[in-house]
C-alpha cells in the first residue's frame, strides 16, 4: 500500500513544444512547457531566468515570484490571476502555478512584458521568441535563419548537413545505418529541400505524436488494444500492421510496472535518404519514474532486436537527452505528403545514438 501511494498521479501526456529563443532551440533540464486548458503555453520559471535573461526571485513563504528585467518588474502570486506589472495590477486569464514542485508561468504574458516578440507555430508545435537585439541582427544580415526561425552556423563546412548553431558537433557525427540495401543516397543538405515546409511540419508532428504515445506510458492505465490502434494510426504501413508486438509491449509495460514520460524533437533540416530509407535526426528527452527493470520502458527498448539495445544506463527519475535517427515509411505515390514513422526501434540502435544526463 505504501509503495502504491508513492507513485506519481496518472497524467495526460503533452505534445513536445519546441522553444526557440533568439534562433536557438533550447533544452530544459526538467519540467517541460505545456498548453493549459485556456490555451496558454506555460513554462518553468527557470526558463525565464536562464533563457530570457531575467532576474527571478522566489518568496517561498508568500508563494510569490518576482521577475525583474531591464527596468520591468512582474510580481506573480502563485494561484492568483491578479499580477502586478511595474506597480499596476493586471488580471490574466491564467496564473502561475506549482507543477511537480516547480513554478510555471504563462510564457506569452511574461515574454511580451519583457519586450520580446512571441510567435506560435502550431503546424509543428513550436514557440519562437525574439528579443529586439536579436531582431536587429536578423534585419542587418548578421545571422541567417532557416524556415523555422533557427540560426544557421556561419561556417557551413559540411557536405551532408545544414549545420545549426544550436546543435552540438557530436550529433552530426552519429553514424547512419542501413535498413534496406539499395544504392541510392541523398544527404540532408539537398534532400530536405525537396519537401515544402508544410510537408516537413507534418512529418515532425507525426514523430512528436508517435513518441507522445510511445514514451508516455503508465502501467496503471495502458490498454493493449488501444495502444495498438493508436500506434497503427501514426505509422506508415501497407494498410496492415501485426498487432502482436504492440499488445506484447503494452502487456510487458503492465508486468514491468513502467511509468515514463518523454518528448521527441525532430529536426526538419536533417531529413535524408540512405540506402532506401528516409530518416530524420531527432532529439529525445525522457525519464522513467517507475519500473522493475528501468532499461525496458518503451517500444524502442523492450525486447530489442539484434540491432538495438535496452539502455542499461537509465536511472530512476533522471531526465535524459538522446539523439538518434527516426526512420520513415510510405508506399503511397504522394511520397512527400504521406511519410510517417517507419520503425518502432529508433532510439537505441547500437552505436547509432548519443545520450547524456540533464542537470
Q: Considering the domain 169-357 in this protein, what is its CATH number?
A: 3.10.450
Q: How many CB atoms lie within 10 A of CB 358?
A: 13
pLDDT of residue 26: 93
Grid cell, residue 268, equals: 526538419
Q: Please check whether residue 289 is in contact with residue 319, taking contact to mean a CB–CB distance below 8 angstroms.
A: no
Residue 277 φ/ψ, nearest 5 degrees? -130, 140
Alpha carbons within 13 A on the beta-carbon side of 39: 2
Per-residue confidence in pLDDT tens, the chain, 359 aa = 344 458 888 888 899 999 999 999 999 988 899 999 889 999 999 899 888 999 999 999 999 999 999 989 999 999 999 999 999 999 998 999 998 788 999 999 999 999 999 999 999 999 999 999 999 999 999 999 999 999 999 999 999 999 999 999 999 999 999 998 888 999 999 999 999 999 999 999 999 999 999 999 999 999 999 999 999 999 998 888 999 999 999 999 999 999 999 999 999 999 999 999 999 999 999 999 999 999 999 999 999 999 999 999 999 999 999 999 999 999 888 889 999 999 999 999 999 999 999 99
pLDDT of residue 10: 82
pLDDT of residue 2: 41
Q: Which part of the chain is CATH 3.30.457.10?
A: 12-130
Indicate the pTM of the whole model. 0.95
Q: Which part of the chain is CATH 3.10.450?
A: 169-357
pLDDT of residue 180: 85
Q: Per CATH, the architecture of 12-130 is what?
A: 2-Layer Sandwich (3.30)
pLDDT of residue 266: 98
Three-state SS letters, the chain: CHHHHCCCCCCCCCCCCEEEECCEECCCCCCCCEECCCCCEEEEHHHHHHHCCCEEEEECCCCEEEEEECCEEEEEECCCCEEEECCEEEECCCCCEEECCEEEEEHHHHHHHCCCEEEEECCCCEEEEECHHHHHHHHCCCCCECCCCCEECCCCCCCCCCCECCCCHHHHCCCCCCCCCCCCEECHHHHHHHCCHHHHHHHHHHHHHHHHHHHCEECCCCCHHHHHHHHHHHECCCCCCCCHHHHHHHHHHHHCCCEEEEEEEECHHHCEEECCEEEEEEEEEEEEEECCCCCCCCCCCCCCCCCECCCCCCCECCCEEEEEEEEEECCCCCHHHHCEECCCCCCCECCCEEEEECC
pLDDT of residue 216: 97
Amino acid at each position: 500500500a505504501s509503495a502504491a501511494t508513492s507513485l506519481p498521479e496518472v497524467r495526460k501526456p503533452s505534445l513536445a513544444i519546441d522553444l526557440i529563443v533568439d534562433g536557438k532551440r533550447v533544452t530544459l533540464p526538467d519540467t517541460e512547457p505545456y498548453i493549459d486548458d485556456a490555451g496558454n503555453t506555460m513554462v518553468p520559471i527557470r526558463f525565464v531566468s536562464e533563457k530570457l535573461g531575467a532576474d527571478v526571485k522566489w518568496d517561498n513563504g508568500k508563494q510569490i515570484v518576482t521577475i525583474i528585467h531591464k527596468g520591468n518588474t512582474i510580481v506573480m502570486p502563485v494561484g492568483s490571476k491578479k499580477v502586478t506589472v511595474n506597480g499596476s495590477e493586471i488580471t490574466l486569464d491564467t496564473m502561475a502555478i506549482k507543477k511537480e514542485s516547480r513554478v510555471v508561468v504563462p510564457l506569452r504574458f511574461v515574454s511580451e512584458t519583457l519586450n520580446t516578440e512571441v510567435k506560435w507555430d502550431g503546424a509543428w508545435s513550436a514557440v519562437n521568441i525574439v528579443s529586439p537585439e536579436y531582431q536587429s541582427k536578423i534585419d542587418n544580415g548578421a545571422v541567417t535563419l532557416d524556415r523555422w526561425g533557427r540560426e544557421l552556423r556561419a561556417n557551413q563546412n559540411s557536405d551532408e548537413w545544414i549545420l545549426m548553431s544550436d546543435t552540438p558537433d557530436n550529433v552530426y557525427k552519429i553514424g547512419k545505418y542501413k535498413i534496406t540495401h539499395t544504392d541510392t543516397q541523398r544527404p540532408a543538405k539537398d534532400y530536405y529541400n525537396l519537401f515544402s515546409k508544410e510537408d516537413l511540419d507534418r512529418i515532425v508532428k507525426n514523430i512528436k505524436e508517435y513518441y507522445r504515445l510511445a514514451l508516455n506510458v503508465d502501467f496503471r492505465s495502458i490498454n493493449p488494444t488501444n495502444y495498438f490502434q493508436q500506434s497503427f494510426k501514426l505509422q506508415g504501413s501497407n494498410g496492415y500492421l501485426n498487432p502482436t508486438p504492440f499488445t506484447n509491449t503494452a502487456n510487458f509495460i503492465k508486468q514491468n510496472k513502467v511509468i515514463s514520460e518523454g518528448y521527441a524533437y525532430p529536426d526538419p533540416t536533417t531529413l535524408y535518404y540512405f540506402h532506401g530509407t528516409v530518416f530524420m535526426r531527432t532529439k529525445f528527452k525522457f525519464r522513467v519514474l517507475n519500473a522493475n527493470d528501468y532499461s525496458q520502458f518503451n517500444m524502442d527498448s523492450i525486447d530489442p532486436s539484434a540491432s538495438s539495445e535496452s539502455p542499461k544506463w537509465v536511472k530512476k527519475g533522471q531526465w535524459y537527452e538522446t539523439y538518434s535517427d527516426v526512420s520513415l515509411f510510405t508506399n503511397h505515390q504522394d511520397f512527400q505528403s504521406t511519410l510517417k514513422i517507419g520503425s518502432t526501434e529508433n532510439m537505441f540502435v547500437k552505436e547509432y545514438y548519443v545520450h547524456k544526463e540533464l542537470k
